[in-house]
């Protein structure tokens, strides 16, 4: 194979890229939302409120947002492989260290640092794939990465719940940390070095100019706020649904609750469905429909019938992933230049939404009830729908 050929179907290089990029997604998202299913146990252990323990999840996503902002400027200054390998191994070590931390505040501080470190993977993974993989098979490589993200998020939560139920939440953290460390070492050993990228100095003036432009563009701002709202609502539901299912009238065991996270499979369907629909319908129409279905799914979460609630969760999850896929795609397509700046700001809003709403709604649930909590989430999704309605069709003139 020619040294300067991009990785293609059937080559060993392409197989290693696909395998390692899948492992990277698996590791990042297993660690990022590790504490989500164990919040009731942590609340009981530290004798604090629901909102306080939710900071264990929000701390990582705040760190992720800050890290993505930092890497929006600095990512191109580092080797792609070295940055990703460092992120995976150091975040795994921080997760392992978390097992023995006695204080909630210190655990939250480590969460922020871990989120910052692990953001190095998200900051450059897609850039690496577009640089190193042949255009004909890039879709397959990106699908492997996104599948790793989804399966990592889902399996990490299920594994954490099952281990925590049997052996305690600290042992669950340890197992996920060791698993992530093994994945990080495999990545470091097998992931091919970049052939089509060399680290370069950052043009700060250009980056600032691009970011200022996107942050003052009404079309882009609306997409950014949609990302923040839908992600914040999504994380809120998965943060606190465990509390709801443990209580009457459901009174489910940890073992059964663990499998609620299998609903993430519907997220994969959501991404695939809108991928096909986007070839036939305007992107903004699909975005509006997806947000509308999120509202319907959230309404069904008010039910005290377990089957209706599970159906509502499936619809809600599918619709969230569909909304997120369309909003991120519209962001990238609208920005003809400065795509990395445009998408960095998108991820920044996305993770800040996750952090702020994800924790804030916990205090709301603690002070009021599940019905008030869901009513607030529906109100937030309605705002996202109004923002999407205000944006014209995605065929609107793009930035040049």
- With bands split at pLDDT 50, 70 and 90, how would you rate the model's confidence at 229? very high
Of 160, 173, 87, 166, the residue nearest 124 (C-alpha): 87
Same domain, 235 and 323: yes
| Share of residues in the chain with pLDDT > 70 (%) | 96
Same domain, 99 and 248: no
Q: Is the pLDDT of residue 94 over 80?
A: yes
| Share of residues in the chain with pLDDT > 90 (%) | 62
Per-residue pLDDT tens for 11-45? Answer: 999 999 999 999 999 999 999 989 999 999 999 99
Q: Is the pLDDT of residue 88 over 80?
A: yes
Range of the domain at 81: 1-201
Q: Is the pLDDT of residue 395 over 70?
A: no
Residue range 338-342: mean pLDDT, rounded: 77
Same domain, 109 and 74: yes
- Please answer whether residues 180 and 88 qualify as being in contact, where contact means their C-beta atoms are separated by less than 8 angstroms: yes
- With bands split at pLDDT 50, 70 and 90, how would you rate the model's confidence at 131? confident
Last residue of one domain, picked from the residues 201, 229, 246: 201
3 state SS of 104: helix
Same domain, 24 and 108: yes
Residue range 230-257: mean pLDDT, rounded: 93
Q: Which of 146-160, 199-213, 351-365 has the highest mean pLDDT?
A: 351-365
Residue range 68-95: mean pLDDT, rounded: 93
Same domain, 189 and 219: no
Q: Can you give the pLDDT at residue 399?
A: 39
Which of 40-54, 104-118, 123-137, 211-225 is predicted with the least confidence, judged by mean pLDDT? 123-137
Torsion of CA 337, 340, 341, 344, to 10 degrees: 150
Per-residue pLDDT tens for 360-391? Answer: 999 999 999 999 999 999 999 999 999 999 98
Q: What are the beta bridge partners of residue 32? A: none
Same domain, 159 and 41: yes
Average pLDDT, the chain: 90
Contacts of 27 (CB under 8 A, 6+ apart): 88, 91, 92, 121, 152, 179, 180, 183, 184, 187
Torsion of CA 273, 276, 279, 284, to 10 degrees: 10
Same domain, 3 and 145: yes
Residue range 67-83: mean pLDDT, rounded: 89
Same domain, 15 and 106: yes
We report the CATH number of the domain holding residue 303 as 1.20.1250.20
Same domain, 174 and 271: no
Same domain, 150 and 274: no
Residue range 211-226: mean pLDDT, rounded: 94
Question: What's the total number of domains in the chain?
Answer: 2
Q: Is the pLDDT of residue 393 over 50?
A: no
Q: Is the pLDDT of residue 180 over 90?
A: yes
Last residue of one domain, picked from the residues 170, 201, 232: 201
Residue range 150-162: mean pLDDT, rounded: 90
Q: Can you give the pLDDT at residue 58?
A: 93
- DSSP-assigned letters across all residues of 254-286: HHHHHGGGGGHHHHHHHHHHHHHHTTTS-HHHH
Same domain, 103 and 169: yes
Q: Model-level pTM?
A: 0.86
Same domain, 303 and 370: yes
Last residue of one domain, picked from the residues 186, 201, 216: 201
Q: Is the pLDDT of residue 160 over 60?
A: yes
């Amino acid at each position: 194979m020619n040294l300067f050929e991009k990785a293609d179907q059937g080559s060993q290089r392409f197989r290693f890229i696909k395998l390692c990029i899948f492992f990277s997604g698996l590791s990042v998202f297993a660690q990022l939302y590790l504490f989500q299913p164990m919040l009731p146990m942590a609340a009981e252990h530290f004798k604090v409120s629901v909102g306080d323990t939710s900071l264990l999840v929000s701390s990582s996503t705040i760190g992720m947002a800050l890290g993505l902002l930092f890497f929006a400027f600095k990512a191109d200054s580092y080797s792609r492989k070295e940055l990703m390998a460092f992120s995976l191994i150091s975040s795994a070590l921080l997760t392992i260290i978390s097992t023995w931390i006695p204080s909630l505040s210190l655990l939250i501080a480590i969460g922020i640092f871990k989120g910052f470190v692990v953001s190095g993977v998200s900051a450059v993974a897609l850039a690496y794939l577009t640089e190193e993989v042949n255009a004909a098979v890039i879709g397959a490589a990106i699908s492997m990465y996104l599948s790793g993200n989804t399966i990592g998020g889902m399996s990490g939560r299920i594994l954490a719940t099952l281990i925590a139920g049997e052996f305690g939440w600290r042992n669950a953290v340890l197992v996920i940390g060791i698993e992530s460390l093994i994945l990080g070492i495999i990545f470091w050993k097998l992931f091919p070095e970049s052939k089509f990228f060399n680290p370069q100095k950052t043009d700060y003036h250009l980056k600032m100019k691009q970011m200022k432009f996107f942050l003052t563009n009404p079309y882009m701002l609306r997409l950014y706020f949609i990302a923040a709202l839908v992600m914040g609502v999504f994380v809120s539901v998965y943060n606190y649904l465990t509390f709801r299912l443990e209580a009457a009238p459901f009174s489910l065991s940890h073992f059964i609750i663990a499998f609620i996270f299998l609903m993430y499979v519907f997220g994969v369907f959501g991404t695939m469905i809108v991928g096909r629909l986007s070839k036939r319908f305007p992107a903004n129409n699909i975005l509006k429909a997806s947000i509308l279905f999120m509202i319907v799914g959230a309404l069904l979460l008010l039910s005290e019938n377990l089957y209706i609630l599970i159906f509502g969760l499936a619809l809600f999850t599918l619709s969230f992933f569909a909304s997120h896929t369309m909003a991120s795609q519209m962001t990238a397509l609208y920005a003809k230049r400065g795509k990395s700046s445009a998408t960095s700001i998108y991820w920044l809003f996305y993770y800040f939404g996750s952090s702020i709403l994800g924790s804030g709604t916990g205090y709301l649930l603690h002070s009021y009830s599940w019905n008030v909590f869901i009513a607030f989430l529906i109100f937030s999704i309605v705002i996202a729908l109004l923002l999407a309605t205000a944006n014209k069709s995605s065929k609107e003139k793009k930035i040049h």
